[in-house]
Amino acid sequence: KSAQAIEALVVVKRLSEAGFTAYFAGGCVRDALLGKAPKDFDVATDAVPAAIQELFGKRKTLAFGASFGVIGVLPSASDRRKSIVPITPTEVATFRSDGLYSDGRRPDSVHFGNAEADAQRRDFTINGLFYDPIKRRIVDYVGGVEDIERQLLRTIGNPHERFSEDKLRMLRAVRFTTTLGFSIAEPTADAVRGHAASIGSVSGERIGVEMRRTMSSNHALDGLGHLQALGLSRYVLPELEKADRRLLDRLLTEDRTQDFSTSLACILLAIDEPMNALRSITERWKLSNEEVRVVTSAIHHSPTLIRANTLPWAEVQPILVDRDAEAIVEVSAALARATDAPSSGIHLALEALKWPRERLDPNPLIGGDDLKDLGVPTGPVYAKLLRQVRQRQLNGEFETKAQAVAFVKGQV
Ligand code: ATP
Ligand code: MG
């Protein structure tokens, strides 16, 4: 059991000894039933926020979203000493039912309620489960256990109402179906198709958060398929309409974990003018500088890398010492496969990544000081000479400093 799980268990025990009802709730119950390690353990209870704070003490609690009834409970000092992991508070949420939704994203008001009402306000049946860790039983008001067994994503209650309340749920539907490899119940899918055009009322940033998660699963291609089948892709990722579908299918066909940036780079490689598309996506989804850098490097360098074995080493080596080399090679491998290019370029690149540092990135034979000693006048010529020497070194033409010095003397 993870430290997180133990802390959540301690919280449930304290609440239950004080006479409250308390369960593990939502994603952690779903993941545990699926045999996956839950990301975090959320607790739901009938204790109101003030009662939770009183029970655990003001100094051990954080009023996260007190208005939404969420309190963070920190592990007690003795538990913390036993634990080597960083302290993460357990989120304890009071059972609630949500009021009307008028902005298509958040309820106007929330009311504290009982466990059943709290299950009913959640999005999908597989996310509406509770687990009582003391009695060791699942509390299922929504048919979630059966849907997990059937691998089916279904809204709780009327799908049309649920998607018009909160449009983001449409992308959560895509995300859960994709990452879990579930199918989507027909009435739920139908309702998404009906509301797809209103996804624009969700901020691009929130859309980006969901899309990252969908696209970092090892079923990214399925995710794009769901987006298209549900009528969402032309609003969320219109670039897809312009993609070479056959190439895209082949680029993303790979049954191993792709992270978001490499998946995005693969998608863009199937599009004309990938950099324009990247600029627009960056703007919409608020991509980080690092994400943009990885995607850009992968797009720029993969056509070179798949020919690595036919090029001078001085052209290939700088790519392999790039900080994003692994991602670039991964995307290049996808490109080579998708275009039926010979695999020898990728093999060489993969091999070179395993070389010891001094072989992959040998120390330069000469530096600026050497040029000064040789009486080369300072100026742009320095950089040019050093570059020329480096290229010859990497290409194996020069092996010694003497050869480099002789070359420089010949140039000035
Ligand atoms: P994970 O954390 O692995 O992404 P999760 O199911 O825990 O999955 P969260 O976004 O952390 O997802 O939300 C926790 C729980 O809150 C969900 O399981 C679900 O019951 C409920 N929930 C989250 N977002 C919504 C929403 N937009 N509408 C209704 N219920 C929601
Ligand atoms: Mg969660």
Report the pLDDT averaged over residues 356-361.
96
What is the average pLDDT score of the chain? 93
- The binding-site residues of ligand 1, defined as CB within 6 angstroms of any ligand atom, are 26-27, 39, 122-123, 127-128, 166, 168-169
Say what percent of the chain tops pLDDT 70. 96
* 25 alpha carbon – ligand 1 mean position (Å): 10
Q: Is the pLDDT reported for residue 80 higher than 70? A: no
For residue 84, what pLDDT is reported? 59
295-337 pLDDT per residue, tens: 999 999 999 999 999 999 999 999 999 999 999 999 999 999 9
Residue ID of nearest Cα to ligand 1 atom 6: 27
* 8 alpha carbon – ligand 2 mean position (Å): 13
Cα(129)–Cα(27) distance, rounded to whole angstroms?
8
Strands 129-132 and 137-140: antiparallel
221-247 pLDDT per residue, tens: 999 999 999 999 999 999 999 999 999
Cα(126)–Cα(275) distance, rounded to whole angstroms?
39
- Topology given in CATH for the domain delimited by 151-236: Hydrophobic Seed Protein (1.10.110)
Residue ID of nearest Cα to ligand 1 atom 1: 27
CB 76 within 8 A of CB 14: no
* 214 alpha carbon – ligand 1 mean position (Å): 15
Report the pLDDT averaged over residues 71-78.
82
Strand partners, 33: none
For residue 110, what pLDDT is reported? 79
* 381 alpha carbon – ligand 2 mean position (Å): 57
* 138 alpha carbon – ligand 1 mean position (Å): 18
Report the pLDDT averaged over residues 175-196.
97
Query: Nearest CA to 15 among 95, 113, 126, 110?
Result: 95
For residue 234, what pLDDT is reported? 96
For residue 201, what pLDDT is reported? 95
Query: Nearest CA to 285 among 181, 214, 196?
Result: 214
**Eight-state DSSP code of residue 62:** E
* Confidence category of residue 2, pLDDT binned at 50, 70, 90: confident
For residue 147, what pLDDT is reported? 98
* 254 alpha carbon – ligand 1 mean position (Å): 28
User: Reduced to 3 states, what is the DSSP secondary structure of residue 39?
Assistant: coil
For residue 75, what pLDDT is reported? 85
Give the nearest ligand 1 atom to 175 CA.
4
Number of C-alpha atoms within 13 angstroms, CB side, residue 193?
11
Give me the interface pTM, i.e. the ipTM. 0.98
* Confidence category of residue 254, pLDDT binned at 50, 70, 90: low
Cα(319)–Cα(330) distance, rounded to whole angstroms?
13
Helix, strand, coil tally for the chain in percent (to 5)? 60, 10, 30
**Domain 1-147 has what CATH class?**
alpha beta
For residue 139, what pLDDT is reported? 98
Cα(268)–Cα(43) distance, rounded to whole angstroms?
41
Burial class from Cβ neighbours inside 10 Å (0-12, 13-18, 19+) for residue 193 reads middle
Mutate which of 33, 101, 127, 165 for ligand 1? The one with the most ligand atoms within 8 Å of its CB, which is 127
Give the nearest ligand 1 atom to 169 CA.
27
For residue 77, what pLDDT is reported? 64
User: Reduced to 3 states, what is the DSSP secondary structure of residue 152?
Assistant: strand
Q: Is the pLDDT reported for residue 256 higher than 90? A: no
* 60 alpha carbon – ligand 1 mean position (Å): 25
For residue 314, what pLDDT is reported? 97
User: Which residues, in sequence order, are CB contacts of 279 under 8 Å at separation 6+?
Assistant: none
Residue ID of nearest Cα to ligand 1 atom 22: 122
Residue ID of nearest Cα to ligand 1 atom 15: 26
Give the nearest ligand 1 atom to 213 CA.
4
* Confidence category of residue 81, pLDDT binned at 50, 70, 90: low
For residue 336, what pLDDT is reported? 95
* 256 alpha carbon – ligand 1 mean position (Å): 25
Give the ligand at the shortest distance from the Cα of 36.
1
Give the ligand at the shortest distance from the Cα of 213.
1
* 26 alpha carbon – ligand 1 mean position (Å): 7
Find the range with the poorest average confidence among 45-54, 71-80, 202-211, 312-321.
71-80
For residue 49, what pLDDT is reported? 94
Give the ligand at the shortest distance from the Cα of 180.
1
Q: Is the pLDDT reported for residue 79 higher than 70? A: no
Say what percent of the chain tops pLDDT 90. 85
Mutate which of 64, 90, 121, 123 for ligand 1? The one with the most ligand atoms within 8 Å of its CB, which is 123
Residue ID of nearest Cα to ligand 1 atom 28: 123
Find the range with the poorest average confidence among 82-86, 164-168, 253-257, 356-360.
82-86
For residue 255, what pLDDT is reported? 57
Give the nearest ligand 1 atom to 39 CA.
3
98-132 pLDDT per residue, tens: 878 888 888 887 789 999 999 999 999 999 999 99
Burial class from Cβ neighbours inside 10 Å (0-12, 13-18, 19+) for residue 79 reads middle
Give the nearest ligand 1 atom to 38 CA.
3
Give the ligand at the shortest distance from the Cα of 168.
1
342-353 pLDDT per residue, tens: 999 999 999 999
Q: Where are the domains of the chain?
A: 1-147, 151-236, 259-361, 368-411
Mutate which of 122, 131, 213 for ligand 1? The one with the most ligand atoms within 8 Å of its CB, which is 122
